[in-house]
């Protein structure tokens, strides 16, 4: 079983990789093999678990991190495997004829990798593995949307789609990790077993909301519904596969995976019902407004995804069968319609209703018109089509579902379904019967195109018809193998509901006749757009980021130094404040000879001020030396004559070196800093100096410190046989450190040599040759 | 072998990788002097390979170190150090490989470059293994001095000199803070030995003298500077931008990793008892770094500068693992440093490769259409960028997931949220480069023809790319090693303070 599942996931990636190296047109033929294999292996799988079994295949990845690669098949998963395989086969065949030479190896690689990633999502048992494939679909779809490179629109749409689904992906990741933290496992099968405990724990809400976010962004639910129409720059087969049949259904699939865990959660039903129905309505409205037929289909896809989301809220009533009927219905008719719009664009040179409706192509394109008509009727939910069963199930779920009495839900459903009638009629009647205006006389741009562009959608629509004519047998096969579908039949009750249905159709037809007037209604056309809000957020973030960038990064090291010093001082002062103590808890210690110390202190302070304020280099250096000599005097007061001698020596050498260097350097110019800057620098210097000084002073008054020093003094003579404790520390107690410091000094000298070394060498290689010439 | 550090010989054995590398570096210097005719001549390619061999020799010594146990000295002989050493040697090897063609093109192929680089690595290794604050400071200075010089190594480019000066001046502040902090800690506790410090400090935050707290604070400032955490990062973009690109790669990987290793050892182990206080500081550093660096990275037009900010942002992610301060966090920390080293070095390798002569093409427009004209190079860059963004199929994903788990295990939920939001912002600027490479046509059909990617650079980029992918598919090997190597580090801490291991 492991082999079967591994092949199902792996074969698209493998063939995709091969397609990169095999030339056209062979790679197109090869690509067919991937979905064909998936179907061939998926069918027995479906027969096995479709009736309700489960298969779990353990696979190790990294157990300590909770990363397993366990695979898991149940009815939902196997259904999706078949769906991805069958629609995928149609898409590959269609793409070969639609894209022709644009179907490069890169395209096949991306398309098949996407297919493999989708299969990974639906077969993963570990939620982390599911997430990995989830993000892979995000990346591959991002690249597929943008494959028409050069088009600014495509790039923008791709990025927008990516960012929205990326946000959702991250939310999903955190949700998964939190859920794993809560339950102690990432594996679905184990999570299912403990759903009662999880829901009983009030902490389950946050992960659930985050997982919802992941599902809603992927499935373009309100308020994230804008990215899907934006992603429509992709070629027709990509839109058909990614944006109607599979990828956007990943969100719905995720809800299906979560259902057994969270179905009893308090927020499950209200959230899904609300978001789903709002999406259904808002997207339906957008579809009515659209003139570009592909945009219309995109909005109608979003609307149907709303239906699927809401159905998971009402799941308990209609069960998995109801959901699967709807998923199947939508995948079949919507992908066909996308493919047919692709055909229309090739055949008639446009997909804009404003152009097409003037021509009334019905006489010319009977086959195409029939197919689009079937698709549009399925969209409306006409009898003798699978769409009827699906819509029926949904109405039943809403009307008879667990939130009985909530008439608002039913009103929204009726309203949104009426909108669906309008845009379905626009799509079909609008194009083929046209407006009442006389034809423009624009010539018929019949391009020579392959019949496959009609055959593939026709094959995909076939199950719609079969399912509509013999529903009980058909649904028994494809929704619940080996049984006769009991299902639900809203239409069996021929009462007031029938009246509502007929009223919807009539209203829809009326709406279609006047859709432009409706779409232009001022109130309705000013619905708030989340997209604008999102774009505003992005541009606002960018603006703030650049001002932050300017604030931090303009200027030389004085500003950088000021920032570092001030923050460091803030850490010190904040630390003192935080601790609730003062630095001088232990009193003030003045040192051994306070009565004499004021004089060198004064000298050092004055010299320090001069070092900063003098404008010539050499006096500056001299003043700096005065500071150093003053320090030496301090050391004498503290009874450290050898330290004082060392200090004197260092100062003398430094000042001589500085004077030698300064002789060869140009004199300093005027201070070009503004007065304000000088004041700021002065304040920074004083604050830092005072704080560090206070710290040093306080350090001297801590008695804990004595322990350390006395220890060294006590041990110097007996252990190291030295009377000069400083020397003993340097060469004996801390000899290693001294060695290290010598090493550092050596490197510093070597580095200085490397930098100051006289001439630069001539460039080598070909450039040198050029220089010589 | 058992080392108890009663005699100096033990120190020799404990420091074997560092000693091998130092001696080898001097050998390289001598070889360089003897093999070239005049001072102004460029060094031979063999010098670079010799330096690389030295890194390999140190790695072998490091492998040998695995068989050694040691307690009580100024040098730690533990899994943490060995793991960190491997990361540092890897960073050095990648830096040397990407340097080879680069130095010739920029007319600065001098043996000193490799010698200084090797000494810098010795400093990093000491920094990562010091068990005593004074030795730690020695390591830090050794590393810093060599790096200051290397940043300014390109004397034909005034920006290189400016970068070196800025880094040096500001770095001096940082060193001063660190030294001051060490002095205060010593004053308050009477020891600089990390293990003794942990014992002396114990668990009582309440009793800790204010002086000690100040010392800890100043140490934090010094480390924050070296790992380039906001707001102590101000030097980073200029220094990274101006430095020769292979050195930028080394600074972003090796220098940062070494400083982080020392930081973790000092704070999580020695100051583990003061956990409650310093965690607050690092919490803010991590949050500021993640948000600020990612926001500013959004506005960068230069890819090299964007990568500089990206490396700052990643310091923020690693700081999250430090804040978690449990064994999961420490293992996540090591794993992340390894992934980070590979992907960052690889990305800078691509920046080096996308050049003509001595002109680096770093603006975003220079990458337009690269995906079609240089497919391999662009694919590698895409892998590094996706890994930096934390996408699946790359080690960056596992690393970020690991840190996320560590943060959640330590109940740092707000920080985890910031981490995720920051990653989201980062998608935008990493992906922008990918988009430009694949979705914007090149100005001309031969825009990217004849780019100067030397063979060693190709090897480095290839190794890094394969490593990044491997760390996704088979993370177990490295994760096991990472967990094993921090186990010892935390046993005492856990016994003392009951820090949770997490699930």
Is pLDDT at A242 greater than 50 in this prediction?
Answer: yes
In a domain, A271, yes or no: no
Which pLDDT band, with edges at 50, 70 and 90, does A20 fall under? confident
Q: Is B404 an 8 Å CB contact of chain A?
A: yes
- pLDDT higher than 60, residue A706: no
Query: In the prediction, which pLDDT does A531 show?
Result: 64
**pLDDT value, residue A572:** 80
pLDDT confidence bin for B315, thresholds 50/70/90: very high
Q: Scan residues 40-99 of A and list those with Cβ closer than 8 Å to B.
A: 61-62, 64-67
Tell me, yes or no, whether A713 lies in a domain.
Answer: no
What is the per-residue pLDDT for A769?
40
Band of pLDDT at residue A575, cut at 50, 70 and 90: confident
pLDDT at residue A766 in the model: 43
**What average pLDDT does this structure show over B420-440?**
84
Residue A734 lies in a domain: no
Q: Tokens in use for A574?
A: 């904040």
pLDDT at position A363: 63
Asked whether the beta carbons of A402 and A317 are under 8 A apart, the reply is yes
The 10s digit of each residue's pLDDT in B92-101 is 999 999 998 8
Predicted confidence (pLDDT) at residue A457 exceeds the cutoff of 90: no
What pLDDT, on the 0 to 100 scale, is given for residue A704?
56
pLDDT higher than threshold 70 for residue B263: yes
What is the reported pLDDT for B141?
Answer: 92
- Choice between A608 and A439, residue whose per-residue pLDDT is larger: A608
Q: How confident is the model at residue A758 (pLDDT cuts 50, 70, 90)?
A: very low
The CA-based angle B362-B366-B368, given to 5 degrees, is 140
The pLDDT value recorded for residue B148 is 92
Angle at A705 between CA A703 and CA A707, to 5 degrees: 95
State the count of interchain CB pairs (< 8 A) between A and B.
274
Q: What pLDDT, on a 0 to 100 scale, did the predictor assign at position B37? A: 63
Least trusted range by pLDDT, from A80-94, A144-158, A497-511, A671-685:
A144-158
Distance of alpha carbon A652 from alpha carbon A642, whole angstroms: 15
What pLDDT does A244 receive? 78
In a domain, A439, yes or no: yes
Mean pLDDT for chain A?
Answer: 79
| Chain B residues close to A159, C-beta within 8 Å | 431, 435
Q: Report whether A771 contacts B105 (CB < 8 A).
A: no
Residue of A nearest to B299 (CA): A546
What per-residue confidence (pLDDT) applies to B53? Answer: 93
pLDDT digits (tens, 9 = 90+) for A163-204: 788 888 888 988 888 888 888 888 888 888 888 888 888 888
Q: What is the 3-state secondary structure (H, E, C) of B316-351?
A: HHHHHHHHHCCHHHHHHHHHHHHHHHHHHHHHHHHH
Put simply, the answer to whether B166 touches A542 (Cβ < 8 Å) is no
- A705 at the B interface (CB within 8 A)? yes
Other C-beta atoms lying within 10 Å of the C-beta of residue A227: 27
For position A178, what pLDDT does the model report? 86
As given in the structure block, the two tokens for residue A21 are 């190296």
| Predicted local distance difference test score (pLDDT) of residue B22 | 92
Supply the DSSP symbol for B152.
T
Nearest CA in chain A to B410: A181
| d(C-alpha B371, C-alpha B435), whole Å | 9
Provide the pLDDT confidence category of residue B495 given band limits of 50, 70 and 90.
very low
- Report yes or no: B359 at the A interface, CB cutoff 8 Å: no
- Closest approach of B394 to chain A, Cα-based (Å): 10
| Token code pair at residue A223 | 């308020």
Å from A388 to nearest chain B CA?
Answer: 41
Rounded CA gap, A76 and A130, in Å? 14
Tokens of B23: 């001696």
Query: What's the total number of domains in chain A?
Result: 1
Any chain A CB within 8 A of the CB of B158? no
* Rounded CA separation A300/A658 (Å): 79
Quick one: pLDDT at residue A362?
A: 61
pLDDT-above-70 percentage for chain A: 83
Higher pLDDT, A543 or B79: B79
Per-residue pLDDT at A499 exceeds 60: yes
Q: How far is A72 from chain B (nearest CA, A)?
A: 20
**What is the tens place of the pLDDT at every residue in B229-250?**
888 888 888 888 888 999 999 9
Residue among A747, A755, A756, A771 with most chain B CBs within 10 A, to mutate: A747
Q: How far is B90 from chain A (nearest CA, A)?
A: 22
- Mean pLDDT for chain B overall: 84
Write out the H or E segment, with its range, that includes residue A756: helix A735-756
Residue numbers in B near A166 (CB within 8 A) = 424, 427
The token pair at B245 is: 């690109």
pLDDT given at position B9: 82
Look at B396 and A368; give whichever has higher pLDDT: B396
C-beta of residue B269 within 8 angstroms of C-beta of residue B489: yes
Say which residue the tokens 């120190």 belong to: B11
Contact between chains at A181 and B408 (C-beta distance less than 8 A): yes
Which whole-number Å values give the CA distances from A479 to A76, A251, A324, A401, B106, in the listed order? Answer: 10, 20, 7, 21, 68
A166 at interface of B, judged by CB pairs closer than 8 A: yes
Q: What pLDDT score was predicted for residue A765?
A: 43
* Residue span of the structural domain in which A485 resides: 277-520
Residue A491 confidence (pLDDT) above 60? no
Q: pLDDT tens, A404-413?
A: 556 777 788 8
Say yes or no to pLDDT of B341 above 90: yes
**Contacts with B, A 633-692, CB within 8 Å:** 692
pLDDT, tens only, B168-205:
988 888 899 999 999 888 888 878 888 888 877 776 55
pLDDT of A593: 62
Residue B60 has pLDDT above 90, yes or no: yes
Q: Provide the pLDDT for residue A773.
A: 34
Strands A60-62, A67-68: pairing kind? antiparallel
Strand-strand pairing, A71-73 and A55-57: antiparallel
Name the DSSP letter for residue B359: E
Tens of pLDDT along A598-656?
A: 788 888 889 988 888 888 888 888 899 999 998 888 888 877 788 889 899 999 999 99
B121 touches chain A (CB under 8 A): no
Strand partners, A352: A292
Read off the pLDDT of residues A21-71 as tens digits, 9 standing for 90 and up.
Answer: 888 778 888 888 889 998 998 888 888 887 777 888 888 777 666 677 888
Secondary structure (H, E, C), A244-272: HHCCCHHHHHHHHHHHHHHCCCCCHHHHH
DSSP A439: P
**Are B435 and A146 inside 8 Å of each other by CB?**
yes
Under 8 Å between Cβ of B496 and B273? yes
Work out the number of other CB atoms within 10 angstroms of the CB of residue B275.
18
Confidence at residue B503, expressed as pLDDT on a 0 to 100 scale = 31
Minimum mean pLDDT among B112-116, B198-202, B402-406, B485-489: which range? B485-489
**First-to-last C-alpha distance (Å) of chain B:** 34
- Grade residue A771 by pLDDT with cuts at 50, 70 and 90: very low
Q: What is the arithmetic mean of pLDDT over A689-702?
A: 79
Q: Are A56 and A125 in contact (CB under 8 A)?
A: yes
Q: Nearest CA to CA, how far is A640 from chain B (Å)? A: 18
d(CA B332, CA B486): 10
- Terminal Cα-to-Cα distance of chain A (whole angstroms): 70
pLDDT band at residue A426 using 50, 70 and 90 as cut-offs: confident
Instruction: State ipTM.
Output: 0.82
pLDDT band at A452; cut points 50, 70, 90:
confident
What are the structural domain ranges in chain B?
A: 2-497
Mean pLDDT of A538-555: 71
- Report pLDDT for B106: 82
């Amino acid at each position: 079983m492991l082999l079967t599942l591994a092949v199902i996931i792996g074969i698209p990636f493998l063939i995709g990789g091969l397609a990169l190296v095999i030339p056209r047109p062979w790679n197109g033929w090869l690509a067919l093999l991937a979905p064909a294999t998936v179907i061939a292996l998926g069918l027995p799988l479906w027969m096995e678990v479709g009736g309700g079994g489960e298969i779990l295949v353990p696979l190790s990845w990294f157990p300590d991190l909770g990363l397993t690669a366990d695979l898991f098949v149940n009815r939902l998963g196997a259904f999706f495997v078949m769906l991805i395989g069958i629609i995928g086969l149609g898409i590959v065949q269609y793409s070969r004829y639609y894209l022709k030479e644009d179907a490069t190896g890169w395209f096949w690689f991306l398309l098949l990798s996407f297919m493999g990633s989708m299969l990974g999502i639906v077969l993963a048992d570990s939620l982390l593995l599911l997430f990995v494939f989830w993000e892979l679909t995000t990346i591959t779809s991002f690249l597929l949307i943008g494959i028409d490179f050069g088009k600014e629109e495509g790039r923008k749409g791709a990025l927008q789609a990516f960012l929205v689904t990326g946000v959702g992906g991250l939310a999903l990741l955190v949700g998964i990790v939190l859920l794993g933290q809560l339950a102690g496992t990432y594996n679905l099968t184990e999570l299912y077993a403990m759903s009662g405990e999880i829901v009983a724990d009030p902490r389950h809400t946050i992960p659930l909301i985050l997982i919802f976010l992941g599902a809603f962004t992927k499935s373009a639910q309100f308020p994230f519904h804008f990215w899907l129409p934006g992603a429509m720059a992709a070629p027709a087969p990509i839109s058909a596969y990614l944006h109607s049949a599979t990828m956007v259904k990943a969100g719905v699939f995720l809800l299906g995976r979560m259902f057994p865990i969270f179905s009893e959660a308090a927020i499950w039903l209200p959230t899904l019902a609300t978001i789903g129905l709002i999406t259904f309505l808002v997207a339906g409205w957008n579809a009515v407004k659209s003139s570009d037929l592909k945009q219309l289909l995109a909005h109608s896809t979003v609307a149907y995804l709303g239906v699927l989301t809401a159905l998971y809220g009402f799941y308990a009533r209609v069960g998995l069968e109801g959901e699967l009927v709807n998923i199947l219905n939508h995948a079949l008719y919507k992908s066909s319609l996308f493919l047919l719009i692709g055909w229309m664009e090739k055949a008639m040179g446009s997909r804009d209703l404003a152009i097409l409706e003037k021509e009334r192509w019905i006489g010319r394109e009977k086959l195409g018109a029939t197919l689009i008509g079937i698709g549009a009727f399925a969209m409306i939910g006409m009898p003798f089509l699978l769409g009827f069963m699906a819509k029926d199930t949904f109405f039943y779920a809403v009307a008879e579902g667990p939130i009985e009495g909530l008439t608002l839900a039913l009103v929204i459903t009726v309203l949104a379904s009426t909108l669906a009638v309008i845009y379905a009629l626009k799509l079909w009647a609008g194009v083929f019967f046209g407006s009442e205006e006389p034809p423009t006389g624009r010539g018929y741009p019949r391009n020579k195109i392959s019949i496959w562009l009609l055959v593939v959608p026709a094959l995909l629509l076939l199950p719609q018809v079969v399912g509509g004519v013999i529903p009980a047998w058909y649904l028994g096969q494809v929704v619940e193998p080996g049984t006769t579908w009991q299902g639900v039949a809203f239409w069996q009750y021929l009462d007031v509901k029938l009246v509502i249905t007929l009223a919807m159709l009539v209203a829809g037809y009326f709406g279609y006749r006047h859709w432009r007037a409706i779409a232009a209604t001022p109130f309705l056309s000013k619905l708030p757009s989340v997209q604008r809000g999102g774009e505003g957020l992005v541009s606002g973030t960018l603006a703030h980021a650049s001002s932050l960038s300017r604030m931090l990064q303009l200027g030389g090291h004085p500003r950088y130094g000021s920032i570092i010093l001030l923050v460091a001082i803030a850490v010190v002062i904040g630390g003192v404040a935080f601790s609730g103590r003062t630095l001088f808890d232990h009193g003030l210690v003045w040192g051994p000879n306070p009565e004499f110390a004021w004089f060198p202190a004064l000298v050092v302070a004055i010299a320090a001020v001069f070092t900063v304020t003098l404008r010539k280099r050499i006096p500056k250096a001299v003043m700096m030396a005065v500071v150093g000599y003053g320090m030496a005097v301090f050391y004498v007061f503290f009874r450290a004559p050898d330290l004082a001698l060392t200090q004197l020596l260092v100062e003398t050498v430094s000042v001589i070196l500085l004077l030698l260097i300064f002789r060869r350097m140009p004199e300093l110019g005027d201070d070009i800093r503004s007065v304000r800057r000088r004041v700021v620098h002065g304040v920074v210097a004083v604050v830092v100096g005072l704080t560090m000084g206070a710290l040093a002073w306080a350090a001297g008054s801590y008695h804990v410190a004595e322990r350390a020093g006395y220890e060294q003094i006590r041990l110097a003579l007996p252990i190291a046989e030295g009377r000069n404790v400083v020397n003993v520390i340097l060469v004996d107690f801390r000899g290693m450190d001294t060695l290290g410091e010598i090493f550092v000094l050596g490197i510093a000298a070597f580095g200085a040599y490397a930098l100051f070394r006289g001439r630069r060498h001539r460039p080598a290689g070909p450039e040198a040759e050029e220089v010589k010439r | 072998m058992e080392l108890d550090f009663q005699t100096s010989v033990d120190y020799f054995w404990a420091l074997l990788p560092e000693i091998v590398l130092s001696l080898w570096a001097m050998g390289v210097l001598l070889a360089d002097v003897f093999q070239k005719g005049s001072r102004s001549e460029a060094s031979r390619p063999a010098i670079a390979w010799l330096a690389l061999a030295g890194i390999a020799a140190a790695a072998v010594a490091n492998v040998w170190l695995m068989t050694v146990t040691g307690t009580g000295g100024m040098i730690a002989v533990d899994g943490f150090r060995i793991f960190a050493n491997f990361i540092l040697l890897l960073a050095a090897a990648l830096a040397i490989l990407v340097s080879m063609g680069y130095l010739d093109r920029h007319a600065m192929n001098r043996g000193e470059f490799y010698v200084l680089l090797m000494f810098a690595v010795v400093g990093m290794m000491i920094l990562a293994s010091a068990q005593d604050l004074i030795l730690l400071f020695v390591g830090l200075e050794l590393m810093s001095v060599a790096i200051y010089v290397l940043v300014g190594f390109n004397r034909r480019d005034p920006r290189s000199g400016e970068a070196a000066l800025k880094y040096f001046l500001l770095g001096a502040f940082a060193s001063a803070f660190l030294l001051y902090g060490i002095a205060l800690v010593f004053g308050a506790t009477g020891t600089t030995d990390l293990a003794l410090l942990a014992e002396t400090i114990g668990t009582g935050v309440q009793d800790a003298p204010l002086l000690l707290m100040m010392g800890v604070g100043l140490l934090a400032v010094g480390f924050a500077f070296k790992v380039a955490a906001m707001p102590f990062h101000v030097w980073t973009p200029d220094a990274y931008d101006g430095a020769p690109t292979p050195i930028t790669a080394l600074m972003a990987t090796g220098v940062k990793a070494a400083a982080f290793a020392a930081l973790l050892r000092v704070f999580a182990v020695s100051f583990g008892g003061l956990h409650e206080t310093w965690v607050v500081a690092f919490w803010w550093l991590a949050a500021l770094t993640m948000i600020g660096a990612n926001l500013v990275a959004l506005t960068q037009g230069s890819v090299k500068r964007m990568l500089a900010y990206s490396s700052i942002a990643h310091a923020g992610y690693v700081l999250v693992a430090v804040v978690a301060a449990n064994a999961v966090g420490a293992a996540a920390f090591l794993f992340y440093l390894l992934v980070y080293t590979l992907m960052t070095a690889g990305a800078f390798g691509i920046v080096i490769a996308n050049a003509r002569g001595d002109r680096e093409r770093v603006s975003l427009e220079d990458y337009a259409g690269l995906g079609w004209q240089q497919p391999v190079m662009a694919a590698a860059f895409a892998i590094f960028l996706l890994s930096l963004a934390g996408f699946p199929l790359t080690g960056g994903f596992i690393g970020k997931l690991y840190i996320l788990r560590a943060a959640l295990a330590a109940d740092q939920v707000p920080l985890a949220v910031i981490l995720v939001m920051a990653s989201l912002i980062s998608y935008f600027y990493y992906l922008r480069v990918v988009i430009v490479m694949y979705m914007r046509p090149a100005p001309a059909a031969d825009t990217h023809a004849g780019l100067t990617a030397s063979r060693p650079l190709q090897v480095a980029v290839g190794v890094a790319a394969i490593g990044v992918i491997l760390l996704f598919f088979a993370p177990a090997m490295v994760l096991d090693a990472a967990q094993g190597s921090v186990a010892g580090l935390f046993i005492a801490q856990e016994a003392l303070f009951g820090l949770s291991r997490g699930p």
